[in-house]
Structure 1
Amino acid sequence: MTDSTALDPEDRKIVTLARAARARNGVPEGAAVRDDNGRTYVAGTVALPSLRLSALRTAVAMAVASGAKSLEAAAVVGESLSLADGDLAAVRDLGGVGTPVFLAGVDGEVRSVVTAG
């Protein structure tokens, strides 16, 4: 896509937080979401024998559990070049159609922006 420094500062922040979660936890993906009040929720991939959640679904679940009513944006950092349909559905369920999801590589560079739609 473009240089991550071209992002809005709040969007750059969630990419940075997602990258930090991935590195800190040693997981395949890190994710962060920002709710309509500007609060952020950060998560990594959950891979337990009885529970498997992508980082993005985990971040959305944390937002919902904390009382968020909507999302402004989301970011995922990892190796994947795309998102699972279920990840986009979770963002759409809380944020609505058109909520942007920044997909970045492990270096934090945004590769693409997809919308929940």
Structure 2
Amino acid sequence: MTDITSEDRKIITLARSARARRQGVPEGAAVRDGAGRTYAASTVTLDSLPLSALQAAVAMAVSSGATSLEAAAVVSEADTVTDADLAAVRELGGPATPVLLAGPDGQLRATITGS
């Protein structure tokens, strides 16, 4: 596995925990804001409010007053992060904000940066 910082390992662990709390959801996610605070969420499957886990985590950060993001993590069986998820991270964090994609076992599979 690629070397990552302890802070990045923390948000992967938080994302993994968010996914585990709700059996059967496809994803868990966590973000770290510019002040170092973390927010974790799982996929939201309400008919009136469908959100990916990463969109939910970004929304939690924004609703808590975050004005920037340092990093984001998604734990999923998927091989990619959707464009909509990347757009949510980029809107708050900017194009250089890394998005860590990990498998359900917590192993980092990719780091996505850029626009």
The whole-number CA distance in structure 2 between the counterparts of 1:13 and 1:68 is 18
Q: Which one of the candidate residues 38, 59, 63 is aligned to 1:40?
A: 38
Alignment RMSD (CA, Å): 0.9
2:24 paired with 1:24: no
The whole-number CA distance in structure 1 between the counterparts of 2:104 and 2:15 is 10
Q: Write out per-residue CA displacement over residues 55-99 of structure 1, whole angstroms, 9 at most, x where no aligned residue.
A: 000000000000001000000001111011010000000000110
The whole-number CA distance in structure 1 between the counterparts of 2:43 and 2:64 is 19
Question: What residue is the counterpart of 2:71 in the other structure?
Answer: 73
Residue 77 of structure 2 aligns to which amino acid in structure 1? Answer: E
Question: What residue is the counterpart of 1:14 in the other structure?
Answer: 11
Shift in Å, 1:16: 0.4
Q: Which one of the candidate residues 72, 82, 90 is aligned to 1:84?
A: 82
User: Contact conserved, 1:19 with 1:106, CA < 8 A, in 2?
Assistant: yes
Question: What residue is the counterpart of 2:56 in the other structure?
Answer: 58
TM-score (structure 2 length as normaliser): 0.96
Q: Give 4+ residue runs of structure 1 displaced > 6 Å after superposition.
A: none
Residue 84 of structure 2 aligns to which amino acid in structure 1? Answer: G
Residue 23 of structure 1 aligns to which amino acid in structure 2? Answer: A
Change (3 A) 1:116 1:67: farther
Structure 2 residue runs of 5 or longer lacking an equivalent are none
Structure 1 residue runs of 5 or longer lacking an equivalent are none
| Number of residue pairs the alignment of both structures matches | 114
Residue 27 of structure 2 aligns to which amino acid in structure 1? Answer: E
State the identity %: 65
User: Contact conserved, 1:101 with 1:116, CA < 8 A, in 2?
Assistant: no
Q: Write out per-residue CA displacement over residues 36-61 of structure 1, whole angstroms, 9 at most, x where no aligned residue.
A: 00000000000011111000000000
